[in-house]
Amino acid sequence: MSGKVAVIGTGLVGSGWAIVFARSGCEVVLFDSGPGAAEHARTVIAERLEELAGFDLLKDTPAEVLARVSVAPSLAAALDGAVYAQESVLERVDVKRQLFADIDAVIGPQTLVGSSSSGIPASLYTDHIACRDRCLVAHPVNPPYLAPIVELVPAPWTAPATVQAVRALMERVGQAPVEATREIEGFILNRLQGVLLMEAWRLVEDGLVSARDLDTTMSQGLGLRWAFMGPLETIDLNAPGGIADYARRLGPLYQSIAASTAEHRVWDDTLIAKLEAQRREDLPAEALAERRAWRDRRLMALARHKQDMQQAESGE
Among residues 128, 161, 179, the one where a domain terminates is 179
Residues 144, 224 within the same domain? no
pLDDT number for residue 261: 75
Among 30-39, 78-87, 105-114, 270-279, which is the least confidently predicted range? Answer: 270-279
Residues 174, 247 within the same domain? no
Percent of the chain with pLDDT over 90: 84
Average pLDDT on 1-26 reads 94
Residues 30, 77 within the same domain? yes
Query: How many domains are contained in the chain?
Result: 2
Residues 19, 108 within the same domain? yes
What is the CA angle 44-64-52, rounded to 5? 50
Burial 133-171 (b: 16+ CB within 10 A, else e): bbbbbbbbbbbbbbbbebbbbbbeebeeebbebbbebbe
pLDDT number for residue 258: 83
Among 92-101, 123-132, 306-315, which is the least confidently predicted range? Answer: 306-315
Q: How many Cβ atoms are within 10 Å of 276's Cβ, its own excluded? A: 12
Residues 225, 156 within the same domain? no
In a domain, 290, yes or no: no
Q: How many Cβ atoms are within 10 Å of 24's Cβ, its own excluded? A: 21
In a domain, 273, yes or no: yes
Q: What is the CATH number of the domain that holds 126?
A: 3.40.50.720
Q: What is the CATH number of the domain that holds 226?
A: 1.10.1040.10
CB neighbour list of residue 257: distance below 8 Å, 6 or more residues apart: none
Residues 170, 207 within the same domain? no
Tell whether the model's pLDDT for residue 164 goes beyond 60.
yes
pLDDT number for residue 316: 66
Residues 160, 50 within the same domain? yes
pLDDT tens string 124-163:
999 999 999 999 999 999 999 999 999 999 999 999 999 9
**Containing structural domain, residue 194:** 189-282
**Burial of residue 86 (number of CB atoms within 10 Å: 0-12, 13-18, 19+):** buried
